[in-house]
Amino acid sequence: MKLVYWMYLGPAHIGTLRIVSSFKNMHALMHAPLGDDYFNVMRSMLERERDFTPVTVSTVDRHVLARGSQEKVFSNLVRKEREEEPSLLVLTPTCTSSILQEDLQNFIERAMLTSSSTILLADVNHYRINELQALDKTLEQIVRHFCNKTTVPEAILTTEPSVNIIGPTTLGFHNTHDIQELKRILQSLKIKVNCILPEGASANQLTDLPQAWVNIVPYREVGLMTAEYLKKEWGTPYISETPMGLIGMGKWLTRLQETLNQISNRPQFNFSSFIRKQTFFVSQAAWFSRSIDCQNLTGKRAVVFGDATHAVALTKILTQEMGIYVACCGTYCTHDKDWFMEQVQGLCDEVLITMDHAQVYDMIVRLEPAAIFGTQMERHIGKKLNIPCGVISAPVHIQNFPLGYRPFFGYEGANQIADLVYNSFTLGMEDHLLEMFGGHDTISTKENIQDKDGEFNWDSKALSELQQIPGFVRKKVRTNTEKYAKLKGFTTITIDVLYEAKENASSIS
Amino acid sequence: MENAVNFNPEIQIECETGNYHTFCPISCVSWLYQKIEDSFFLVIGTKTCGYFLQNAMGVMIFAEPRYAMAELEEGDVSAQLNDYSELQRLCAQVKKARNPSVIFWIGTCTTEIIKMDLEGLAPRIEAEINIPIVVARANGLDYAFTQGEDTVLAALCQRCPTSTQSNQSKNLVLFGSVASTVSNMLTRELEQQGVSITGWLPAQNYTSLPSIPPQTFICGVNPFLNRTAATLIRKRRCVLISAPFPIGPDGTRAWIEQICSVLGIQPVGLVEREKRVWESLQPYLKILEGKSIFFMGDNLLEISLARFLLRCGMKVYEIGIPYLDQRYQASELSLLKETCDQLNQPLPRIVEKPDNYYQVQRIQELKPDITITGMAHANPLEARNFLTKWSVEFTFSQIHGFAHARDILELVSRPLRRNTSLGELGWTKLIKSEPILS
């Protein structure tokens, strides 16, 4: 057992559900107790999804515990198949159901006899892998199911150069914006996007996957298994660089150019002038780094923490593109430790690989950076320690699902990141100046709760009740009560007057 | 089988598949740790439980809450590790870091399935670390959302002292966790009628739990506390005052009247008091009158809210509810029936263990003006031009007593008022395709 207050990563089934609900017309049936469908709330709230989340629960209750699921899972599979007619139904075990050790595969086989949909059992072990590993695994499982040597014996490449983008999922950090940015760049290079996987893809597109010239896996956390599989079966090469930051973008485009040239008979791709133009003139980030404003950032100390993709990419941007000193760079992707260490080697003083936010907290306290770049948790650590924080990675809250166009990838992404970094530090400096000159307001903000004019006499009980009311509405309640007392001719305000006033206030806000 | 007995033969209750969305009952930790100020809640479960709590509670998680997960690992599930020494180690850690007056162990689905003997382990560890350990099995196998509080309070019943502090012949203990302003208000309301209260379960502190000698009168303030009521009756020999719940002015008046009548007191000025509250609600009633409402059901407050809203002049199409204890809610159900009869309204369809899929189809047919539903369905319904109010807000708002009737109507009328301001724009159906479930 472990004492845990906070988790950077969710359980495995969340990864599976994120993959299934990213696809079009696929449905997940969770074998889970009541209340485990919290994923639907997250998707509906964080992503502000307009459609019903395609996840249903086959409830595990006392009866299931006593007698097994028996007909229940089977009939729920058949029912969902009939109601939703999905191209794929994924039976998803949860940590609870996996210890029941029921033969779920058997239910699937029975249901398949009567149904026209395909049904798969999500192949994830809840006690061994986390949300991100399950993302990778489930995507590969689904791709493998629809796209294999039986359904696609031979790959015929598209005549025009084309790529698959593998990785964007529902509830992924700025994923939709990132992919839009990559699509724009590919379009201006006249490279077709064959398929985007899994967000928005449908099952019948999956057999087209081997037609792409190159697979693009921009996120370290999801898609590598699928890309490896496609490479093994049809020899499709893949590039796994992260197209983040100006240097990152340059490297990514160069890798893409090399890979495409290896496929076509004659080398026809040369992106160097494109890279130059974008870096120097389209994106503002390179110029921004040279501008004197950015000079003030030189040698400022920062701490970076997040998932592997974003923590690595941001560390590179801070150190190589902005002259910022990264005191510590860390990740909670403990399963990808070696890759992470290798990537950030030489770029920072320390590396921290942990899932325990308390360790991250201690590290930040010890290093006292001028700014933090991290997850929602680091934002709160920063608040507590009075250190500004830019959010660069999941887990995040609803404010990190912005409506406006906010990619992290590509040349526009570089602009966005430059703003994010700069604004964090400016605020930090402002804060120091304020402190130096004694803050905005040197008068104690503690509200004097006893009436100043003495027009009304609040008795002690009423006063203590008033103190119970949250600070931000207390003043309003106080004014309303006194107004009411005046109207009724009371001079002493007792607890009864307070309540009466509350009842009689009928303003609709 | 209490369920099989129909206590009010005029009320028909349907039962569907139980395929509905609700919060896991361990969510009760979020309000109970705040209510019981010297407590610490240890949820013994898996990553799934932790993930739910951390997401459901949003920002509260960063406020150094007095709760944590005892996260079970593979070794715990396969019994390679010893439950006793593991829990003892964690509880010692909690004691050292927080030194609470009580540690609650919240059992989950996993501890049920692997049959971890929490009730057996607790007394041993309690004796060793010298902090009371209270065990509540608030798991999703058996319970929904607010029923979590019920399991915790039922476990707390056993910890209340027996001694009689005063010589008064009639002890009265109220049960249900409400904000202290609400409990103060309800207490005063009764005191004004000459009813004195021995205490509340739970109290602000574990160390100040009320004394419950045999023959104590008890009365609940929330409709989901049937287990607590049963425990107080059976284990502590209490006498339950079955009353409607003090939700809405009608409910509050009936609640006070029922308590007074059992204690042989003639209530004074209550009718006028209720009337005055209704007058102050006029602006809301104008908005709500004649509008229809559909409760999908997820927190067990549904019967009381529906009864109040009927009285406000609304039409109730369906009352979905996770679980309906007809014995504990008997008075509330009678008041519902009475309200319908008086207003000449048909009795709403009551659906226990609803099926959300079928409910969405019924919503599409009935086209209610407002649907009270969970967050999983709220946005998709709004996108299809159905006004919704997020049901969980009723659990986390102050809704009890005369003074808070307005807060309920504020919540219920919000989508309608929001819609008045957006009404001219014609942005109603915001999905591309017609089918409701796709």
Specify which residues B349 forms β-bridges with. B318
Q: Which two tokens stand for residue B279?
A: 């007058």
The SS3 assignment for B289 reads coil
Residue B102 is part of which domain span? 25-139
Band (pLDDT 50/70/90 cuts) for residue B437 is very low
> Of B119, B139, B159, which residue sits at a domain end?
B139
Q: Which of B68, B90, B188 sits opposite A5 (nearest CB)?
A: B68
- A293 catalytically annotated: yes
Q: Supply the ipTM of this predicted assembly.
A: 0.92
| Chain B residues lying within 8 Å of A13, measured CB to CB | 48
Binding residue positions of B for [4Fe-4S] cluster: 24, 49, 109
What is the per-residue pLDDT for A477? 81
| Chain B residues lying within 8 Å of A4, measured CB to CB | 50, 68-71
DSSP label of A400: G
pTM: 0.90
Cross-chain Cβ contact B188/A495 below 8 Å: yes
Integer Cα distance of B148 and B137 in angstroms: 8
Instruction: Give which of A378, A425, A427, A420 is closest to A174, Cα–Cα.
Output: A420
Q: Mind telling me how many Å the CA of A34 is from chain B's nearest CA?
A: 5
**Could you report the per-residue pLDDT of A261-309, keeping only the tens digit for each?**
998 776 789 999 999 999 999 999 999 988 887 887 888 899 999 999 9
| Chain B residues lying within 8 Å of A52, measured CB to CB | 360, 377, 380, 437-438
Determine phi and psi for A331, rounding to 5 degrees.
-145, 155
Overall average pLDDT of the B100-128 stretch: 95
Do residues B342 and B406 share a domain? Answer: yes
Q: Mind telling me how many Å the CA of B42 is from chain A's nearest CA?
A: 9
* Residue of A103, A293, A362, A496 marked active site: A293
| Chain A residues lying within 8 Å of B114, measured CB to CB | 99
The low-confidence residues of chain A, meaning pLDDT below 70, are 266, 426-454, 470-473, 506-509
Do residues B111 and B193 share a domain? Answer: no
Do residues B246 and B285 share a domain? Answer: no
What is the per-residue pLDDT for B422? 73
Q: Is the separation of the CB atoms in B148 and B25 below 8 Å? A: yes
Tell which of B3, B19, B42, B47 to mutate to test the A interface (max A CBs under 10 Å).
B47
What is the per-residue pLDDT for A445? 40
Work out how many CB contacts closer than 8 A connect A with B.
192
Overall average pLDDT of the B168-176 stretch: 86
Whole-number percent of chain B with pLDDT over 90 = 83
> How many Cα neighbours within 13 Å face the side chain of A322?
29
Cross-chain Cβ contact B68/A502 below 8 Å: no
**Could you report the per-residue pLDDT of B355-384, keeping only the tens digit for each?**
999 999 999 999 999 999 999 999 999 999
What is the per-residue pLDDT for A509? 38
What is the per-residue pLDDT for B79? 82
Q: Going by C-beta distance under 8 Å and a sequence separation of 6 or more, which residues neighbour residue A207?
A: A146, A147, A151, A152
Decide: residue B176, CB within 10 A, 0-12 exposed, 13-18 middle, 19+ buried.
Answer: buried
| Chain A residues lying within 8 Å of B183, measured CB to CB | none
CATH code for the domain in which residue B337 is found = 3.40.50.1980
Average per-residue pLDDT in chain B?
92
Q: Is the separation of the CB atoms in B222 and B244 below 8 Å? A: no
Do residues B326 and B404 share a domain? Answer: yes
Do residues B102 and B84 share a domain? Answer: yes
Cross-chain Cβ contact A52/B25 below 8 Å: no
Cross-chain Cβ contact A126/B46 below 8 Å: yes
Look at residue B156 and tell me if it is in a domain.
no
Q: Which two tokens stand for residue A215?
A: 């697979």
Q: Which of A52, A57, A397 sits opposite B19 (nearest CB)?
A: A57
Overall average pLDDT of the B309-336 stretch: 97
- What is the set of domains in chain A, with CATH numbers? 12-129 (3.40.50.1980), 162-277 (3.40.50.1980), 286-435 (3.40.50.1980), 457-504 (1.10.8.550)
Q: Count structural domains, chain B.
A: 3
Do residues B308 and B179 share a domain? Answer: no
What is the per-residue pLDDT for A250? 97
Do residues B225 and B288 share a domain? Answer: no
Q: Mind telling me how many Å the CA of A450 is from chain B's nearest CA?
A: 20
Cross-chain Cβ contact A99/B417 below 8 Å: no
What is the per-residue pLDDT for A428? 63
Do residues B237 and B323 share a domain? Answer: no
Do residues B50 and B99 share a domain? Answer: yes
Cross-chain Cβ contact B70/A495 below 8 Å: no
